[in-house]
């Protein structure tokens, strides 16, 4: 499966950084040291490494080689003069002799059939090396990029000269496609195409000339089964843990029920105490509000007394903070402020905006606001309350306040 370019470029950069770092050498050393700690009979299980089947097809037979790590040995031969079904059955039999779900199959060709080139490219091209090689194919080889299968290996990186030494292997599609078609007809699904390191059976060189879209996608059924069994084991472990927690929770809930039952009376007492305090605070607030605010009748009587006879009001509003706003007309609005400043009920009288003449009534139209004056003894209840708290006696105003 081809990956999008937006994914291939970051992956190439990560591979380059990983190869340039010391991690590969460290992991090789670490693995070698860990194997050295194992018993002698166990080391053989890890010495061979990954196993692969190498297929070498010619006109008379198909030779199958088994490669384990660096060792390569002949595994079987399939006669080409047998029927296709017999050849397919024989290969399946050989394949099933190796109990390895992830076993890979490579078609190996002779090194003489591949064209090898050593190239020097800028190190900046490593992120898109396959694309660069495709563009350079017709310059470095007699073929175009769509006429060959190719693979490469970075042999050397020179950070000082900032270039790469590339080992490029190319094989013409016209030569390889008939062989791939014949192997596919026999049911041999290939993970790649490579060439021998030397003579036939010497092991593969480590390239993969087959494009990613033509490589077989293998499903590791054993891995899936192991993952499923692991998931079941984890699920059972979680269920056992949940049952244990549920039992503990049930015991805890029983204890909490007993504690909650003992707390009911205390909570009821706290609720009644809070309700009593709230009612007392509300009554005290209403009592103070009543004594601190001048009654509306007194304000209207004072306002009527202070305003001249040629003045009348069209609108009067009073908000909850005692701010009064009036709008009306007067024969001489400029004298209104002077009269209202003598009031003991109203404070801070001032016009809002400008005074404008009314052409219809021949009077001055005005808008003004002022503040209701608090009563002189407004702070007396608080002072008496504090004094009563200190003396342990009930203050006079609090005695007159309504009971909670």
List Cβ neighbours of 13 (8 Å cut-off, separation of 6 or more). 127
pLDDT at 168 (0 to 100): 92
Q: Which residue has the higher pLDDT, 299 or 375?
A: 299
| Average pLDDT of every residue of the chain | 81
pLDDT at 2: 53
Superfamily (CATH) of domain 296-373:
General secretion pathway protein M, EpsM (3.30.1360.100)
User: Stretch 227-248: mean pLDDT, rounded?
Assistant: 92
- Look at residues 140, 138, 109, 118 and name the one whose alpha carbon lies nearest to residue 209: 109
H helix runs in 293-357, sequence order:
296-306, 336-340
Q: Helix H segments across 293-335?
A: 296-306
Q: Enumerate long-range contacts of 125-132, CB under 8 Å, 24 or more apart.
A: 125/164, 126/12, 126/16, 126/154, 126/164, 127/9, 127/12, 127/13, 127/16, 128/9, 128/12, 129/12, 129/154, 129/164, 129/166
What pLDDT sits at residue 285?
Answer: 73
Q: Which helix (H) or strand (E) holds 237?
A: helix 221-292
For 225, phi then psi, to 5°, come to -65, -45
Question: What is the rounded average pLDDT of the residues 41-54?
Answer: 67
pLDDT of 393: 46
Q: Which residues pair with 68 in a beta bridge?
A: 51, 71
pLDDT in tens, 104-127: 899 999 999 999 999 898 888 888
For the segment 227-238, the average pLDDT, to the nearest whole number, is: 92
How far are the Cα atoms of 194, 266, 269, 273 from residue 263, in angstroms, in the given order? 81, 5, 10, 15
With a cut of 90, say whether residue 311 has pLDDT above it.
no
Question: Stretch 71-93: mean pLDDT, rounded?
Answer: 89
pLDDT above 60: residue 379: no
In contact, 148 and 141? CB cutoff 8 Å: yes
Instruction: Name the strand (E) or helix (H) holding 167.
Output: strand 163-172
Give per-residue pLDDT as tens, 18-40.
766 778 778 878 877 887 777 76
Q: What is the mean pLDDT of residues 325-343?
A: 83
In the chain, where the domains are located? 1-47, 48-218, 223-292+399-404, 296-373
Q: Which of 114-118, 136-140, 321-325 has the lowest mean pLDDT?
A: 321-325
> 169 with 151: CB under 8 angstroms?
yes
**Is the Cα dihedral 164, 17, 28, 67 positive or negative?**
negative
Asked whether the predicted pLDDT for residue 376 surpasses 50, the reply is no
The least confident of 8-12, 31-35, 169-173, 381-385 is 381-385
- Token pair listed for 369: 């606001």
Whether residue 385 has pLDDT greater than 60:
no
Per-residue pLDDT, averaged over 3-8, amounts to 64
**Mean pLDDT value of segment 314-331:** 85
Using left for φ > 0, alpha for ψ between -120 and 50, and beta otherwise, residue 63 falls in: beta
Q: Give me the percent of the chain exceeding a pLDDT of 90.
A: 17
Buried b (16+ CB within 10 A) or exposed e, 13-40: eeebeeeeeeeeeeeeeeeeeeeeeeee
CATH architecture of structural domain 48-218? 2-Layer Sandwich (3.30)
pLDDT at 207 over 80: yes
Rounded (10°) CA dihedral 304, 309, 310, 311: 0
CB 366 within 8 A of CB 330: yes
Band (pLDDT 50/70/90 cuts) for residue 371 is confident
Q: What is the pTM of this model?
A: 0.49
What percent of the chain has a predicted confidence (pLDDT) above 70? 85
Q: Which two tokens stand for residue 207?
A: 């390239």
Give me the mean pLDDT over the 202-218 stretch.
Answer: 87
User: What is the rounded CA–CA span in Å between residue 390 and residue 332?
Assistant: 55
State the chain's maximal CA–CA distance in angstroms. 133
211 Rama class: left (phi>0) / alpha (psi -120 to 50) / beta: beta
Contact status, residue 49 vs residue 166, Cβ threshold 8 Å:
no
Question: Which has the minimum average pLDDT: 151-160, 262-271, 388-397?
Answer: 388-397
Rounded Cα distance, 187 and 153, in Å:
30
Confirm if 133 and 150 have CB atoms less than 8 A apart.
yes
Q: What confidence score (pLDDT) does residue 3 get? A: 57
Average pLDDT over residues 168-196: 91
């Amino acid at each position: 499966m081809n990956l999008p370019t937006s994914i291939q470029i970051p992956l190439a950069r990560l591979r380059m950084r990983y190869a340039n770092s010391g991690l590969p050498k460290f992991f090789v050393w670490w693995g070698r040291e860990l194997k050295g700690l194992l018993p002698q009979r166990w080391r053989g299980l890890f010495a061979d490494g990954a196993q692969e089947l190498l297929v070498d097809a010619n006109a008379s037979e198909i030779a199958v080689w088994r490669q384990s790590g660096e060792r390569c040995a002949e595994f079987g031969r399939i006669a080409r003069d047998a029927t296709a079904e017999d050849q397919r059955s024989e290969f399946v039999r050989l394949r099933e002799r190796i109990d390895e779900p992830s076993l890979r199959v490579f078609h190996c060709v002779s090194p003489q059939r591949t064209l090898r080139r050593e190239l020097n490219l800028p190190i900046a091209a490593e992120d898109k090396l396959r694309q660069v090689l495709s563009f350079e194919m017709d310059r470095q080889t007699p073929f175009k990029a769509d006429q060959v299968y190719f693979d490469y290996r970075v042999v050397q990186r020179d950070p000082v000269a900032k270039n790469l030494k590339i080992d490029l292997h190319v094989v013409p599609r016209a030569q390889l496609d008939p062989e791939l078609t014949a192997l596919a007809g026999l049911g041999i699904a290939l993970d790649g195409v490579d060439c021998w390191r030397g003579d036939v059976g010497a092991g593969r060189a480590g390239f993969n000339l087959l494009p990613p879209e033509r490589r077989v996608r293998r499903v590791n059924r054993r891995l899936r089964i192991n993952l499923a069994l692991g998931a079941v084991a984890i699920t059972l472990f979680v269920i056992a843990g949940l049952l244990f927690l549920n039992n503990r929770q049930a015991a805890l809930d029983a204890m909490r029920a007993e504690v909650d039952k003992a707390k009911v009376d205390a909570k009821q007492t706290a609720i009644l105490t809070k309700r009593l305090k709230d009612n007392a605070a509300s009554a005290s607030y209403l009592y103070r509000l009543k004594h601190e605010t001048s009654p509306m009748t007194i304000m209207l009587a004072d306002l009527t007394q202070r305003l001249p006879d040629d003045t009348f009001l069209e609108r009067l509003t009073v908000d909850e903070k005692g701010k009064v706003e009036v709008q009306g007309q007067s024969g001489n609005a400029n004298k209104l402020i002077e009269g209202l400043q003598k009031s003991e009920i109203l404070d801070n009288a001032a016009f809002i905006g400008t005074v404008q003449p009314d052409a219809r009534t021949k009077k001055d139209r005005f808008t003004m606001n002022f503040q209701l004056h608090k009563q002189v003894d407004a702070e007396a209840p608080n002072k008496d309350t504090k004094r009563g708290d200190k003396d342990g006696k009930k203050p006079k105003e609090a005695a007159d306040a309504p009971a909670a």
